[in-house]
Every structure is written in structure tokens, then in C-alpha cells.
Amino acid sequence: MINTTAIYVLWLREMKRFLRAKSRVVGTLAMPLFFLAFLGLGFGNMNIPGMAKGVDYIHFLVPGVVGMTMLFTSMFAGISVLWDREFGFLKEIMVAPVDRISIVIGRIVGGATTSVLQGILILGISVLMGFKIPSMSALLLSIVFMLLISSTFIGLGLIFASRMKDIHGFSLIMNFVVFPLFFLSGALFPLENLPVWIRYVSYLDPLTYGVDGLRSVLIGVSSFSVLFDFAVLMGFSVVTISIGAYFFEKSESV
């Protein structure tokens, strides 16, 4: 049976860690800000092939950078499992009279909350750079897509973290996985500019549908319909969370 108290405690722990680690917040926001500042402003007046008419590059880029923020923060949330194993906290919660699925849900909810907060911060900063959020409903729908992106990649990070014990090895593998996912998603350029065979590979990337969904609700431009993006991303989220929960249940606490 799911233990809501355990979920809340783990969520609260993640929130406290997030709020206390100011350097972590600054570090995770630095790269998205560099992308917005140097790419968004630097290429703002250029005509990029494949981009819809009437959409400048800063508006095209912002949903991609928000998706990038979700990807990086969510995938590396898995490293907290390795830290908890290293310092004994994981063993303590594993032997507690709480089912492991509650532990998994608590970690996912906590990680997703901190990721979405950072995504909202990026959106707020992008407004100062000239980005315009069309309406409150668009903002709320973008948060829904942020949650789906975050939960998808937290589940994926949990799969890797549950099968590994070396923190440094996890970081190396995550970099090997994260950057292809990012560049294949169309976050920086229209997917139509890619060769056909690479475009088909990009359709296997969950972030592709997350970024496309964010663009659909924030700027009204997308490769797929918003319902299609939502359905596919929801499917990816369910699959990765289920597999991540399975591997976490089978993992050792030491």
C-alpha cells in the first residue's frame, strides 16, 4: 500500500536540499542562461531554414532550453540515489517499514518539483530577454509538459542509478546519454533541417515530443499536434517510471 507520509517526507527532503544548495541552483541555471544569451540574442535576427515565418529565434529557442533544463536536472536526480547509498541513507529507508514504490514515488515527485521550479525560473528570465508567454493557460499547459518531461527522465536516471554503484561512472554515462538526447530533440534547430534517417532516430527521443509540446503551447508552432505530443510523452513517462521502479525495488541498499 502506498504510504503518503513517506512520499511527503522524501519530497520535503528534496525541497530542503534544493533550497539550501544555492550553488546547485546557480550551476544548473548557468548553462541554459548561456544558451539563451549567446544563441538566442546572437542569432535573433537570422533567417533559419525550416523555422516558421513570424517566429524569431529567441521564441523558438526558449521552449528548447526549458526542455534542456528538464532533461539535465531530471537525469542527474538519479545521482542522489548513489549519494544516499554511499552515505548510508538509502539503507536506512530500505529497512524502514515502507514499501519501495512509495520511496520511488517520493523521489520522483521531489525531483520533478525541483526541476519544474527551475524550468519556471528559466521562463521568467526569458521574459526579460523578450520572450512573451501568450496566456496563463499556456503557462499552465507548459508546466504540465515540464512535469511529463521531468518524470520521464527521472525514471530513466533511476534505471541507471539502480544498476550502478560508482558515482563517477554514473556521471560519465549520463553525459554520454544526455547530450545525444538533447541534440536529437530539435531544441536548438528545426527537425526538418536534419537528414531523414536522423529525423527518424529523433522520433525515438522522448525529449523531442516534450520540446515540441512546449513550443505548441508557448508559441503556437510545432511539428506534431499538442495532443499527440502529450500522449507520446505520457507513454514514455509511464514506461520509464515503471522500469525505474522495478530496478529500484531489485537494487541493493549497500
Domain range for 9: 4-250
- What pLDDT score does 254 carry? 45
The CA-atom distances, in angstroms, between 103 and each of 38, 83, 123, 244 are 40, 15, 30, 12
**Range with the lowest mean pLDDT among 40-44, 220-224, 229-233?**
40-44
Q: pLDDT tens-digit profile of 155-194?
A: 888 888 777 766 666 667 777 888 888 888 888 888 887 8
Q: pLDDT tens-digit profile of 131-157?
A: 888 888 989 999 999 999 999 988 888
* Cα end-to-end span (Å), the chain: 25
**245, 238, 242: which is closest to 107 by C-alpha?**
245
Concatenating the DSSP letter of every residue in 192-253 gives: GGS-HHHHHHHTT-HHHHHHHHHHHHHTS--SS-HHHHHHHHHHHHHHHHHHHHHHHHHS--
The answer on pLDDT for 118 being more than 80 is yes
C-alpha span between 39 and 226 (Å, rounded)? 26
The CA-atom distances, in angstroms, between 24 and each of 7, 29, 64, 73, 155 are 23, 9, 21, 10, 21
Q: pLDDT tens-digit profile of 67-93?
A: 988 888 887 776 777 776 666 666 666
- What pLDDT score does 185 carry? 87
The answer on pLDDT for 250 being more than 80 is no
pLDDT bucket at 115, cuts 50 / 70 / 90 = confident
Torsion of CA 70, 118, 147, 82, to 10 degrees: 60
- The domain tally of the chain equals 1
Question: Rounded to an integer, what is the distance from CA 119 to the centroid of its chain?
Answer: 9
